[in-house]
Amino acid sequence: MWFGGAGTIILLTVALLSTVSSVLCFFRLTFCKGAVVFPVARLNFALSSCALLILATAFLGDRFEIEYVALNSNTFLPDFYKLAAVWGGHQGSMLFWLFTLSSWAALVDYKLKSPVRFRSDVVWVMNLMIACFAWFTIFASNPFEFSSQYVSQGRDLNPMLQDLGLILHPPLLYLGYIGYSTVLAFAIAALMQDKVDESWVYWSRFWSVSSWLFLTAGILIGAWWAYKELGWGGWWFWDPVENASLLPWLSGTLLLHAQFVMRVGKALKLTTFVFAVTTFCLSILGTFIVRSGLITSVHAFASDPSIGVFLLLILAIFLIGGLLLLGRRLDQITSASLLLQSKYVLLGVIACCILVTALITVALGTFYPLFYSYVSPFSVSVGAPYFNAIFTPLTLLGLLVLGFAPLLKPNTHRPSTPLSTAVMLVVSVITGGLLYWIQVDEIRLWPILYWIAGSWVSVTHFWYWWKIGGVNHTALLAHFGIVVVAISAVMNAQHSFQVNRKIELGQSIDFSHWEIVYLESDWLIGGNYTAEKVTLSWSQSGKQRFWLYPEKRHYNVRVMTMSEPAIKRYWHGDYYVNLGEKLAAGQYSITIQYNAYIIWLWIGGLLIVTSGLVPFVRSIRHERKGGEFVKNI
C-alpha cells in the first residue's frame, strides 16, 4: 500500500517546491538569485525520477491495488510491456511528462553557462511549468490513486499498444515536446532582461536542435509503428492526433530557420520570439487533443473533457503571458531590413514562409471541423485530399528552394554563374526524368516533377561540395533526407494499390504479377493471447519467391481480436497482407497491398535524424578541446 502514498507525497513535494520557488523568484528576492532556484531544479529531477521508479516497480510487482496499474497491466503481460505501460496510459504519460520536464530543467541548470540573472530567469520559468504540471498531475491525473475495490488481476494493456513502438515512440515524442519548454524559457528570460538582444538565440540553439531531433525521431517511429501495427497500410493518414505532433514539428523547424536568419542577417527577431512561445504551446495543444476526447481517434488517450480544461488553462498561462510580455518589450525588438539582406538570407525567409503556410494548412484542416461542429448542426470532415492538394505543390516549391541554397551561400570562392546554374538545371531534368522512367510503367506528373526537383537538390549540393572542397554535413544530410522522404511520399501516394479478396484454404489468387496460395493455418499461444497464423505462398512465373504469415490474435483478458499484418520488404516497396474477418473455418477476407517506396521513408527519416546528431558530435569534440558546448551547435 505504500506505493500510492509515497508516489503522491513525492508529487505533492515537487508541486510545493516548484510553486514556492516560482513565487519567490517572481518577486526577485535577493536569495533567489542563483542560490535557491537552481538546487530546486535538480531536486525536482531527483524526486520525479523516484516517482517514476515507484510506478515502474508497482507495474513489475503487479500491485493492482493501484487503479492505474490494474487498468493497464496483467500478470501475463511480458515485463518489457509492463515497463512501457508506465507511460502507456494517460496518468502515467503525464507523470512521464513531469519527469521529462524536470530532466530538461536540471540539464539547463547543469549545462547553461550564461550570466547568473539570465540563468536564474530561465530556470524560474521552467520551475513555474513544473509547478503547473505537478498540480495538474496530482488533481487530474494522479497515477498513484488506489482502486475502489480489490482486484486480483489487471485488465491488461491495450493490445494495440503491445509493440516495440510503445517503448520508443512516447518517450522520444515527449522529449521533443517538452524540450521546447527550454526554448520558451530562454525567450521569456530574454524579455525579462534590462536589454533585449539576440544573445538568447545563441544560448538556446542547442536546446532548439535537441528538441527538434527528439521530436523528429518520435514522429518517425510513430509513423513506422502505425504502418506496421494498425493495419492501415500507409504511413500518414492526416489523423488529428498525428497532426497534433506535426504542428509543433513544423513550428520547431520554422523556429530553427528563423533563428538562423536572426543570427546571420539580424532579421526576423520578432518571428523568432513568437515561434519560441508558440512551439511549446502547440506541444501542449497536441497533448490536449490526445487527452480531451474532443476529437475521436484511434490514438486518443482519454475522453474526459475536464482534463482538457486543465491543459487549456496551462496553455493559456504561457501563451498569453509570453505574448503579453513580448508586446510589452516590442519597442526594443528591432530587426534589420529584409531589403538590405543577402540572397542567402532572403532564401531563409522564403523557407520560413513555406513552413508558415504548411503550419496554417495543418492547423485549419485539424481544427476547422471541430469549430464548425460547435456553430452548426451539421458536421464536416477534412481528409487527405485537402492536405495533399496543398502539401504536394508546397513540398515541390520547398525542394526548389533547397536546391538554390548552396548556390547562394556566402563565402563561396567560386560562386555559380547563370550558365553553370542552367547546366545544373538541365542535368537535373534529364537525371530525374530517367530515374523515374526506368522504374515505372506509367508516367505521372507529380512523381516525375518530384524526381526532377530531388535531382536538382542533389546536383546543386554535389556542385557545392566539389567546388568548395568541404560541406556542412548537417545541412547535407537533412536536405538529402527531405528529398528521400518527399520522393517516398509522392511515389507511395501515386503508385500504391490494393485488393480485397475472400480466400480459402488451398485456394490461389492473383495480385499484380504474383500468385498467392493459402497453404495452411496454425494455432499459436503467446504470453497473453492466442493466435491463428496463416501461411501464404508467393510465387512468380512458377518459381517460389517467399512466404508471408499474417496473424489473427485474440487477447483473452481484454476480449479483443487484433490483426497482425505480414510484410515483405523490397527497395521499391512493400507487399503488405492483413487478415480481415474470419468468414468460416479456413476462410478469411484478406487485404493485399503494394506500398510503393515505403522503405525510402524510413531511410530519409533516419538521414534527417542523423543530421541532428552531427552538430552534437562536433560540439562534444570542441568541448573536450576547451571550447564551449552550447554555442558550438
Q: What is the pLDDT of residue 31?
A: 47
Percent of the chain clearing pLDDT 70 (strictly above): 89
Encode pLDDT of 480-490 as tens digits: 999 999 999 99
For 149-174, what is the mean pLDDT?
87
pLDDT tens, residue by residue, 504-543? 998 999 998 899 999 999 998 887 889 999 999 999 887 8
Mean pLDDT, residues 361-375: 85
Range with the poorest average pLDDT among 61-75, 247-261, 409-423, 434-448: 409-423
Q: How far apart are CA 396 and CA 495, in angstroms?
A: 18
pLDDT reported for residue 449 = 96
Q: Helix crossing, 473-495 with 598-624: angle to 10°? A: 170
What 8-state DSSP symbol labels residue 593?
Answer: E
Question: Is pLDDT above 50 for 34?
Answer: no
Element (H, E) at 534: strand 530-540
Taking all residues of the chain, what is their mean pLDDT, rounded to a whole number?
85
For residue 223, count CB atoms less than 10 angstroms from its CB and return exposed for 0-12, middle for 13-18, buried for 19 or more.
buried
- Indicate the pLDDT class of residue 436, thresholds 50, 70 and 90: very high
Closest CA to 404 of 423, 426, 428, 421: 421
> Please, which pLDDT band fits residue 377 given cuts at 50, 70 and 90?
confident
pLDDT at 35: 44
List residues bridging with 538 in a β-sheet: 516, 546
Which residues, other chains included, contact 504 with Cβ-Cβ below 8 Å and sequence gap of 6+?
Answer: 518, 586, 587
**Which amino acid appears at position 313 of this protein?**
L
Of 514, 522, 580, 505, residue with least CA distance to 545: 514
pLDDT at residue 120 greater than cutoff 70:
yes
Average pLDDT over residues 189-212: 88
pLDDT tens-place string over residues 286-316: 888 777 666 665 555 555 666 777 888 888 8
For residue 3, name the pLDDT band (cuts at 50, 70, 90). low
pLDDT band at 382 (very low <50, low <70, confident <90, very high): confident
Residue 148 has pLDDT above 60, yes or no: yes
The CA dihedral of 65, 70, 75, 80, to the nearest 10 degrees, is -110
How many C-beta atoms lie closer than 10 Å to residue 80's C-beta?
Answer: 12
Q: What is the pLDDT of residues 22-32, one digit of tens each?
A: 877 766 644 44
Task: Please tell me the distance from the alpha carbon of residue 208 to that of residue 182, in angstroms, as a whole number.
Answer: 8
**Separation between Cα atoms, residue 163 and residue 148, nearest integer Å:** 30
Q: Is the pLDDT of residue 33 over 60?
A: no
- pLDDT value at 264 more than 90: no
Is pLDDT larger for residue 148 or for residue 603? 603
* Mean pLDDT score, 387-401: 93
The tens digit of pLDDT for each residue in 499-508 reads: 999 999 989 9
Residue burial 546-562, b: 16+ Cβ < 10 Å; e: rest? eebebbbbebebbeeeb
pLDDT at 113: 81
pLDDT at 64 over 60: yes
pLDDT at 340 over 70: no
pLDDT of residue 1: 54
Residue 545 has pLDDT above 90, yes or no: no
Q: For residue 146, what is the DSSP state?
A: B
d(CA 276, CA 229): 35
* Contacts (Cβ under 8 Å, ≥6 apart) of 478: 607, 608, 611, 612
Residue 503 has φ and ψ, to the nearest 5°, of -130, 140
Q: What is the pTM of this model?
A: 0.92
User: With contact defined as beta carbons under 8 Å apart, do 14 and 44 qualify?
Assistant: yes
Residue 611 has pLDDT above 80, yes or no: yes
**For residues 286 and 308, is the Cβ–Cβ distance under 8 A?**
no
